[in-house]
């Protein structure tokens, strides 16, 4: 998060979208891939993870040079709605990881986390909405 280049990632990705040759996407995915052994208890602004700007495509779609394919593994996800500008997103994460998750019957699963935004999403919009998908599994008793 200290080396956050999200704005640059999305700017570059949106420019390259026309190379895919698919219809304009209606949904965009912001995906975070953490190392399998990552500890969220020790998560800090210095923690490293891979960030993807993505859209959903058919598996037979052409892959332009320099773009990669990410297949999200199936599994159980807890889904939340973040309402507000991107700069208030840490408050949503604080609720999810600081309140909801510890008091739920679930624990984190080692799969990508992601957000889904529609084609009208703008990170500065006070009425922006995004779905927050957190990979979970039932806690062992």
Q: Tell me the pLDDT of the chain (141 aa) as tens digits.
A: 455 788 899 999 988 888 887 778 899 999 999 887 666 655 656 677 899 999 998 877 777 888 888 999 999 999 999 999 999 999 999 999 999 999 999 999 999 999 999 999 999 999 999 999 999 999 987
Given a contact cutoff of 8 angstroms between Cβ atoms, the answer to whether 130 and 88 are in contact is no
Q: Can you give the residue ranges of every domain in the chain?
A: 6-17+34-138
pTM for this model (two decimals): 0.87
Residues 6+ apart with CB under 8 A from 2: 45, 46
């Amino acid at each position: 998060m200290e080396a956050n280049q999200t704005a640059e990632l999305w700017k570059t990705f949106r420019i390259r979208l026309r190379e895919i040759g698919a219809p304009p996407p209606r949904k965009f995915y912001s995906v975070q891939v953490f190392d399998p052994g990552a500890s969220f208890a020790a998560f800090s602004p210095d923690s490293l993870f891979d960030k993807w700007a993505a859209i959903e495509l058919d598996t037979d779609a052409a892959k332009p040079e320099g773009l990669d394919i990410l297949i999200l593994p199936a599994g159980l996800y807890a889904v939340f709605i973040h309402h507000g500008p991107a700069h208030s997103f840490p408050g949503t994460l604080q609720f999810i990881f600081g309140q909801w998750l510890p008091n739920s019957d679930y624990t984190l699963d080692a799969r990508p986390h992601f957000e889904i935004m529609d084609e009208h999403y703008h990170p500065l919009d006070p009425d922006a909405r995004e779905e927050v998908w957190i990979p979970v599994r039932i806690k062992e008793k």
